Amino acid sequence: MVLDEATGPQGAEALIADGDYLGREAVVKIRPPKGYRLPVLDSSIRASRTRNEARIMHEARAAGVRTPCIYDIDLKECTITMERISGDLVKNHLDSHPEDAPRVCRMIGETIARMHTARICHGDLTTSNMILHDDSICLIDLSMGCTKAEMEDIGVDLRLLERAFTSAHTELEESFGVLMDSYYSHVDNPAAIRRKLDDIRNRGRYT
């Protein structure tokens, strides 16, 4: 594996670098050491989060959800080397092509429904963590996700999406309705999920 010197944006716990894996363009997610933690504890936490993210990505792909293919995992260095996905961030695409929002939002709704039906939650559902690729939605950065999700987890995932979408795309409120209609039409228990989402919204109003 070869890494480029230029490193991408730094998140809360990880760095993203361009790379090459066996002649294929790749992206490498690196969890660097945190100096404020005891070294043994730090290594354990970083390895656990790396392993968990890779497992969620694998299970999502098995459920038919598009995520980057994983090429390599290094638990000692706490890195995941994965497929580079070509395409536009959904956030940028919606900003540049609002007329395409209904179509894209229908795809988003179906993708999230497939993920939730497999009891997988993303944990940070925003249009900045989605790539429009070959007329499909690819989900990225599942580091805050979980498997074996309960109804509460699913409701929280949707509430986070709702808040993120309406904040980032203030002119596309109607398209978010299209997204949710698509979502509900592809899940097995839409009424129960609607009730849970309403319950979570109401908690926010009175706390």
Spatial contact of 17 and 31, defined as CB atoms under 8 Å apart: no
Contact predicate 53/14, CB 8 Å: no
Known catalytic residue at 141: no
State which amino acid sits at residue 17: A
User: What CA–CA distance (Å, rounded) separates 127 from 95?
Assistant: 10
Cα 162-92-138 angle, rounded to 5 deg: 70
Residue 131 CB burial class (10 angstroms; 0-12, 13-18, ≥19)? buried
Single out the catalytic residue among 4, 18, 74, 124.
124
Q: Is the dihedral of CA 86, 90, 91, 92 positive or negative?
A: positive
Name residue, tokens 């309403």: 198
Helices 173-185 and 151-168, packing angle to 10 deg = 160
Catalytic site positions: 124
